[in-house]
Amino acid sequence: MTDTSSTAAQFTAPRTGRRLKVLPIIEVVVLAIGLLLPLVLQDYLTVFGTRVLILCLFALSFDLVWGYSGIMSFGQAVFFGSAGYGVALLARDLNVTSMLLVLPAGVLIGFSIALLIGGFLLLGRNPSSVIFVSLGTLTGSYAFDRLARGWYYLGGQNGIPSIPPMQIGGYDLTEGPVFYYFVLAILLLVYLGCRFLTKSQFGLALAGLRENEQRIAFFGYQVQHIKAIIFSLAGAIAGLAGSLYAFHEGFVWPNMLGVVMSTQVVLYVLFGGSGTLIGAVIGTVVIEIVSFWLSNSYQDIWPIILGCLMLLVILFRPAGLISLIVSHSERIGNFGRPPKPHRKERDHGSA
């Protein structure tokens, strides 16, 4: 009996041990690559890399609402573009370009518009369905796009060009390595904040919403209020990304508000893997790099090639590229401390 129990303990002991987590390793590797890239890239590629980092920030906002909360928003570009237009107007009409003013203004614009739209779509008397929210945000994106194209004050079809550079203590922040590391630092801070949020008790409620909304409501959670909160926070992050994008590109245009931009961020997250944060970053980087290469090599048919590649990945890897190396249990995540082994199990293990 002793030999049998000790043999069984040897086979079951590895199951109680902690598995090596892959996600933190991927995060560290991606951060290290991001820190070293400007040292080896040419100037125009550093500018391209900065644009990709800003889009990664934009993708994080969608991953919060869809990957963690189950809210399918086709209107993330509304918050992204509205903040871009807002800071562009501040720079054009009031000559306000200080980082301490324009970035908080962009966050506030994105947060406010997301709160208004979220309050309308999510805080009704009856719970909102996924289709209702997705179509509502899609309609909002289209309406904002048409408004920007038809409003002369916003530049109409041409948008607002020649935005002066953003200033940090009297220093003009122009395209190049300085702007790259500035955006990378903001992306890192936002990423860590999102990671802390999703691992908190609030993140546990979000995961419950994604998996079974009715059960979370049965436990007494205000489901619609939680959705409105995370929707507004995601809008604030999208507004921050839109502000950075406006000053980096030097102009804003109606496409930043439209359906194409809203759909693009959905593809970023689906391609990389939703509900992981780092999957949104990887998906954005891969799609932008492949698009950049294909547009130079196959100028006439590159959108078709890119669409086929994305379709293949989504068909054969519905969980995204991140599922190639990260297990399902780690992507879903766990909360709290692991259960302690019983005394009998410890005795068998020591035996």
Q: What is the pLDDT of residues 285-306, one digit of tens each?
A: 999 998 888 888 787 788 888 8
Q: What is the mean pLDDT of residues 258-271?
A: 90
pTM as predicted? 0.86
Rounded to an integer, what distance in angstroms lies between the CA atom of residue 277 and that of residue 161? 33
Contact by Cβ (8 Å): 117, 75 = yes
Nearest CA-CA partner of 87 in 109, 102, 104, 107: 102
Highest mean pLDDT among 9-18, 70-79, 208-217: 70-79
* Band of pLDDT at residue 194, cut at 50, 70 and 90: very high
- Strands (E) in the chain, as ranges, are 166-168, 171-173
Contact by Cβ (8 Å): 50, 183 = yes
Rounded to an integer, what distance in angstroms lies between the CA atom of residue 190 and that of residue 235? 13
Q: At 284, give phi and psi (nearest 5°).
A: -65, -45
DSSP 154-172: GTGGG-B--PPPEEETTEE
CA distances to 113, 230, 272, 304 from 265, rounded to whole Å, are 18, 17, 11, 18
Q: At 166, give phi and psi (nearest 5°).
A: -70, 145
Q: At 169, give phi and psi (nearest 5°).
A: 60, 40
Higher pLDDT, residue 132 or 215: 132
Rounded to an integer, what distance in angstroms lies between the CA atom of residue 111 and that of residue 117? 10
* Band of pLDDT at residue 5, cut at 50, 70 and 90: very low
Report pLDDT for 51: 94
Residue 224 CB coordination number (10 Å): 20
Q: What is the mean pLDDT of residues 241-266?
A: 92
| Tokens read off for 121 | 């779509």
DSSP 242-264: HHHHHHHHS-B-GGGGSHHHHHH
Residue 340 CB coordination number (10 Å): 9
CA distances to 92, 145, 245 from 183, rounded to whole Å, are 22, 26, 10
Q: At 171, give phi and psi (nearest 5°).
A: -95, 130
How many residues can be counted in the chain?
A: 351
How would you label 296-311 residue by residue, b for 16+ Cβ within 10 Å and e otherwise? Answer: eeeeeebeeebeeebe
Q: How high does pLDDT run on average in the chain?
A: 84
Written as one letter, the residue type at 339 is: P
Give pairs for 13-17: CB < 8 Å, separation 24+: 13/349, 16/341, 16/345
CA distances to 66, 207, 263, 324, 327 from 276, rounded to whole Å, are 11, 12, 19, 13, 11
Q: What is the mean pLDDT of residues 95-109?
A: 93
Report pLDDT for 280: 92
Residues 25-60 pLDDT 10s: 999 999 999 999 999 888 889 999 999 999 999 999
Burial (0-12, 13-18, 19+ Cβ within 10 Å), 20: exposed
pLDDT over 90 percentage in the chain: 44
Higher pLDDT, residue 116 or 333: 116
Q: What is the mean pLDDT of residues 219-244?
A: 90
Give pairs for 95-102: CB < 8 Å, separation 24+: 95/164, 97/164, 97/165, 97/166, 97/167, 97/247, 98/166, 98/167, 98/168, 99/166, 99/167, 99/168, 99/173, 102/166, 102/243, 102/247
